[in-house]
Amino acid sequence: MRMLVVEDEPKIAGFLSRGLIEEGHQVTVAGTLAAARSALATAGHDLLIIDRMLPDGDGLALIRELREAGNGLPALCVTAKDRVEDRVQGLWDGADDYLVKPFAFEELLARIAAIARRRPQASRILRVADLTLDAELRTAKRGEREVPLTPQEFALLWFLAEHPGRVHTRAELLAHVWNVHHDPGTNVVDVYMGYLRRKIDRDAAHPLVHTVRGVGYLLRA
């Protein structure tokens, strides 16, 4: 799962993100509500793990905001506030679960698994400008034009579309899309980016695939 951990204590944030990454999750850490809001605006997440006492407010406020906007992103509140009223308030405000600090990492994992089981798979559609990707149907469209993609091309484009505007290095793309974690000195990423560019940006007035010379690639409207 792609998780956003909102925690202002660096020690706890580090402990959580290391543990969750070891479990195979992708983790972004934000230390404030403001940072969490911008992370949520730019990337897709499957789970929000949020502390209540943050420098710029109560983590529950962010959960309330999401719910009021119709956003059902699963949210797990992790906090030192352990009074029954606090926990009940958390659940009323839209948290899916509430975990009181200090907690055992195993318990966190169990609760994450429970949240994942309860939730139907969120709609898996990504949009960047007029590009639409549907993970279930494995289809890509640029405007009304269907773009036939191979599974590898689709995986690469999906990964780029999850973080529009962010530059991905070749090594990062190799790791995420091809599961290659060392540099085998291959130009497979460049070759595939070439395929994508031809398919996605063909005849387009505004190209979406961009190269940052010497760094990597990004998808941007």
By the criterion CB under 5 A, which residues form the site for Ca ion? 8, 51, 53
Nearer to Ca ion, 51 or 97 (CB): 51
* Residue of this chain nearest to Ca ion (CB atom): 53
Nearer to Ca ion, 50 or 174 (CB): 50
**Least separation in angstroms between CB 65 and Ca ion:** 18
Nearer to Ca ion, 48 or 140 (CB): 48
**Least separation in angstroms between CB 80 and Ca ion:** 7
Neighbouring C-alpha atoms within 13 Å toward the C-beta of 3? 29
**Least separation in angstroms between CB 54 and Ca ion:** 6
Q: How far apart are CA 173 and CA 168, in angstroms?
A: 7
Nearer to Ca ion, 7 or 97 (CB): 7
Q: How far apart are CA 13 and CA 166, in angstroms?
A: 23
**Least separation in angstroms between CB 72 and Ca ion:** 25
Q: What are phi and psi of 78, to 5 degrees?
A: -120, 115
CA 54-80-11 angle, to 5 degrees, is: 65
**Least separation in angstroms between CB 7 and Ca ion:** 7
Nearer to Ca ion, 51 or 58 (CB): 51
Is residue 211 within 8 Å of 221, Cβ to Cβ? no
Nearer to Ca ion, 51 or 162 (CB): 51
Q: How far apart are CA 153 and CA 93, in angstroms?
A: 40
Q: How far apart are CA 39 and CA 25, in angstroms?
A: 16
Closest CA to 98 of 31, 39, 52, 40: 52
Q: How far apart are CA 119 and CA 138, in angstroms?
A: 21
**Least separation in angstroms between CB 19 and Ca ion:** 18
